[in-house]
Chains A and B, each alone.
Chain A
């Protein structure tokens, strides 16, 4: 059995680049202007799960979540558990939605961002207190979610164009007007 390492390597590399961007002081300026910063990694997990299914969504969600935990000041496993669940949910919609890529990106990101806000709320309630949980939930739900959704469509389109070249074996995709793959 031939094992293809191309996708795991490039997915992890993309995730590390996105983490580096998201952790950069320049990107952090968005937080001071718009209260929160958009979560590009969430969009990436939603994309990976949606494109490659639940199994890969779970695996990559976990690995990327753990990578984020190591950079973040929080508890190791906190983001890992949230992101693997997001990968699972995004993977559930794989091959189930046939719509324009733009709409898919927005809808999936919105579902994933809502789930993330809820998960953070629950984990914060369990490990900290209700007051902190409400503050975190408000920041995630009211500020981060709209920004992330705004970022979702262009990022989904870019990833969709790049995916056949960097995550697959260079298969070119032909799209019809609805965005549905002809070669699917």
Chain B
């Protein structure tokens, strides 16, 4: 018996492991596969974190040397700028007061402010056909599935994506450029709403659907979240219109949006602790 097993061990191992893999694929999303994933992640996550710390340390040393050269120039420029800003501050304060007074007059409902959780990007997907990002905050920090994630790029605040998987100390983020991502958005000027879908692998540009052909859309126009869909709060920057394809047929424009956040250089993100409006999300998914 043992001799037979030894003789056909490759075939036995191949058949068994293929069956096991197929079972895992069929049972994807169930507790069984989730537990298996967790067992593996326990071993891999600390090594990923260590590798990241090492690469960041090397990067920091390099940046420090580079920055020292620019520091003197920047200091003199900053002093000049500070003097200008101090002058402008007075008029800004006046404008702020006016704004608040006018808002109250208009009886405008002010947007609810959410608390945010700072997180670092620990890793990105090792394969080419997914674009998920792993961050170093999880349930221990109050992160939940569906929470929106934002980032800053050259002073601009923009949407990065949303949380799709949460463990105790880390979470996975589905970026807006992923093919599986769909976000309710609005054109800043015309206030027309549409749905933004990622098209990763082909390009980092996102595809904006359902904008009526009668609407005038200019390249460079700002695209913001519409607040519809129950996931993303209203008014957050998504990106700018990169290309508008005007067709002779069909009802809608073909619009391509360039995300405000450069995912290639993304290192730090903020998770908005906003509880998902599940009823609304379910209704939308049913509608789709």
Contact = CB atoms under 8 A, between A and B. Distances in A.
Contacts of B275: none
A68 B17 CA distance: 16
A44 to B, nearest CB: 12
B123 A81 contact: no
A126 B61 CA distance: 48
Contacts of A55: 9-10, 13
B44 interface: yes
A29 B127 contact: no
A22 B266 CA distance: 16
Contacts of B123: 20, 23-25, 71
Contacts of B59: 26
Listed residue (A32, A68, A73) with the most chain B CB atoms within 10 angstroms of its CB? A73
Interface size band for A: 35 or more
A86 to B, nearest CB: 12
A74 interface: yes
Contact of B124 (A28, A65, A144): A28
Interface string A162-178: 00000000000000000
Interface stretch (B47-55, B77-85, B185-193, B251-259): B47-55
A99 interface: no
A136 B179 CA distance: 11
Contacts of A28: 124-125, 264
Contacts of B48: 19-20, 23-24, 71
B124 A24 contact: yes
8 contacts: A20-B47, A65-B21, A70-B39, A72-B130, A77-B21, A80-B17, A127-B25, A132-B179
Contacts, number: 160
B37 A69 contact: yes
A136 B201 contact: yes
A88 B14 contact: yes
B128 interface: yes
Given A25-B267, A70-B39, 8 more contacts: A36-B128, A69-B37, A72-B130, A74-B127, A76-B24, A79-B127, A80-B17, A81-B25
Interface of B: 9-10, 13-14, 17-18, 20-25, 28, 33, 36-41, 43-44, 47-48, 50-52, 55, 59, 121, 123-132, 134, 164-165, 172, 174, 179, 201-202, 204, 263-267
B153 to A, nearest CB: 14
A29 B264 contact: yes
A84 B10 CA distance: 11
A107 interface: no
Interface in A40-68: 41, 53-55, 58-59, 62, 65-68
Nearest to B262: A32
A40 B36 CA distance: 24
B229 to A, nearest CB: 21
A75 interface: yes
Nearest to A66: B40
A26 B126 CA distance: 12
Contacts of B47: 16-17, 20
A25 B9 contact: no
Contacts of A97: none
A140 B112 CA distance: 44
